[in-house]
Amino acid sequence: MKHLLIKAMAGSGLILMTLTASAQAQPQYDQNQERREVRDQDRIFDHLRGDLDRARASTMPMTPDRDRVIRADERVNECQRRVNSGTYDRRDFDTAIAAVQQVADMNRLPDEDRRLLSDDIQSLTRLRDRLGD
């Protein structure tokens, strides 16, 4: 009887330790997942900014084309600031997407630059949808 009681207590202790270890491992996974998501978000914004810089390089100073690129860059930067601070809403994304769309639609750009901006718009739209409101 004593031997059975010791085995039961040892088994219970082992189960308790396993559950405790499992519960402690979960926050680490969540932190790692969150870090990956932040890196992915930053990568989307960095890539978009690079493509806007490329579009800016093909515009003349003091033209509507340059103004549209500058405005899009400002909207994208503001959207990223708000996403990083956790104070974003759908309108932040919509404003940034619309500004980049204007550059893609209205600026005189090489076809490749226009395609890159269109891809960026799709990436930003997916990010908006993934983050939700």
State residue 54 phi and psi, 5-degree precision: -65, -40
Q: What distance lies between CA 60 and its chain's CA centroid? A: 31
What the block records as the tokens of 51 is 């493509």
How far is it, in rounded angstroms, from Cα 45 to Cα 12?
50
**42-52 confidence digits (pLDDT tens):** 999 999 999 99
How far is it, in rounded angstroms, from Cα 49 to Cα 96?
11
Predicted structure pTM score: 0.74
The enclosing H or E element of 10 equals helix 2-57
Domain ranges of the chain: 36-131
**20-41 confidence digits (pLDDT tens):** 555 555 556 577 776 777 788 9
For the chain (133 residues), the mean pLDDT of every run of 10, in chain order, is: 57 58 56 76 95 95 96 97 92 97 96 96 95 75
Place of tokens 């207590």: 9
